[in-house]
C-alpha cells in the first residue's frame, strides 16, 4: 500500500489518498486509489491495470469517474502504454503514446522516462537499492484540456515496484493555473516489517 499527499495551488489544500496494489494473475496488477491514509476504494476511485513481463511494464487499461456524468469510465489503452522497459540500467530512455476511448471521449496518453542514477533509499525502515527515474507524462485532448506530470521515481528492482515518488501535476491547456505537488511513499508490501 502507498500513502500519497497532494497539495494544490491557490487555496493550498492538502488531501491524503492511498494506492492499493492487487495481484490479478501471473502478469497483471491493479493499482486502486482510496481516500485517506487507510481508506477503502469507492465509486470515485481510479484503477490502473499494469502488465509486467521480462521485457516491460505496460499500462493496459484504466477505469475512473467520468467528469460530467455520475458514472465510471473504462478504457483499454491502444497500444499499451510503456511505463518501464526492462531490465533497467542507468542512461536508458524511452517514449510511448497511447489512445484511450473513441469519438468525443478519445484522449491521448503520452509517457517518457530516463534512468538517471542508482541510489540507496530508506522505505518503511528498510534500506533498498533503487533506480532513480525521471518521467514526463501528458494526458487529455489537446486544445481542450491537457494534464502534465513531471516526476522522479525511486524504483526497487528487488521489490519490483516504485517505492517513492515526487511529482508536479499541471493543467496546461485552459490557462487555469491548476498545479498540484504530489508525494507518494510505499508503506507496506508482502514480507515488509510490521508497522
Residue-wise pLDDT for 144-192, tens only, equals: 888 899 999 999 998 888 899 999 988 876 656 677 888 888 877 766 6
- Report yes or no on 161 lying in a domain: yes
| Residue 36, pLDDT above cutoff 70 | no
- Report yes or no on 38 lying in a domain: yes
Total domains in the chain come to: 1
Confidence at residue 184, expressed as pLDDT on a 0 to 100 scale: 85
Contact present, 81 and 61 (Cβ < 8 Å): no
Residue 131: which CATH number? Answer: 2.40.360
The Cβ of residue 193 has, within 10 Å, a number of other Cβ atoms equal to 8
Confidence at residue 71, expressed as pLDDT on a 0 to 100 scale: 67
Which tens digit of pLDDT belongs to each residue from 17-31? 677 777 777 677 777
- Report yes or no on 192 lying in a domain: no
Which tens digit of pLDDT belongs to each residue from 75-132? 899 999 999 999 999 999 999 999 998 888 888 999 999 999 999 999 888 899 999 9
Confidence at residue 17, expressed as pLDDT on a 0 to 100 scale: 67
Residues linked to residue 165 through DSSP beta bridges, in sequence order: 153, 184
- Report yes or no on 195 lying in a domain: no
**Structural domain containing residue 165:** 2-186
Which residues, at least 6 apart from 32, have a Cβ–Cβ distance to it below 8 Å? 19, 20, 22, 41, 45, 46, 47
- Report yes or no on 154 lying in a domain: yes
Q: What is the DSSP letter of 12?
A: -
- Report yes or no on 146 lying in a domain: yes
- Report yes or no on 193 lying in a domain: no
- Report yes or no on 155 lying in a domain: yes
Place of cell 467520468: 66
Amino acid at each position: 500500500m502507498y500513502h500519497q499527499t497532494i497539495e494544490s495551488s491557490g487555496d493550498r489544500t492538502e488531501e491524503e489518498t492511498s494506492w492499493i496494489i492487487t495481484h490479478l494473475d501471473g502478469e497483471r496488477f491493479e493499482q486502486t486509489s482510496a481516500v485517506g491514509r487507510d481508506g477503502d476504494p469507492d465509486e470515485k476511485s481510479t484503477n490502473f491495470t499494469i502488465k509486467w513481463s521480462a521485457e516491460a511494464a505496460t499500462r493496459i487499461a484504466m477505469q475512473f469517474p467520468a467528469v460530467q456524468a455520475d458514472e465510471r469510465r473504462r478504457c483499454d489503452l491502444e497500444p499499451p502504454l510503456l511505463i518501464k522497459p526492462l531490465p533497467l540500467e542507468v542512461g536508458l530512455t524511452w517514449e510511448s503514446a497511447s489512445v484511450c476511448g473513441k469519438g468525443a471521449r478519445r484522449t491521448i496518453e503520452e509517457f517518457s522516462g530516463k534512468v538517471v542514477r542508482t541510489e540507496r533509499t530508506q522505505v518503511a525502515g528498510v534500506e533498498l537499492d533503487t533506480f532513480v527515474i525521471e518521467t514526463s507524462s501528458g494526458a487529455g485532448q489537446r486544445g481542450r484540456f491537457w494534464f502534465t506530470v513531471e516526476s522522479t521515481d525511486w524504483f526497487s528492482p528487488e521489490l519490483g515496484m516504485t517505492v517513492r515518488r515526487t511529482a508536479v501535476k499541471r493543467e496546461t491547456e485552459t490557462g487555469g493555473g491548476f498545479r498540484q505537488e504530489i508525494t507518494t511513499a510505499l508503506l507496506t508490501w508482502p514480507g515488509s516489517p510490521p508497522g
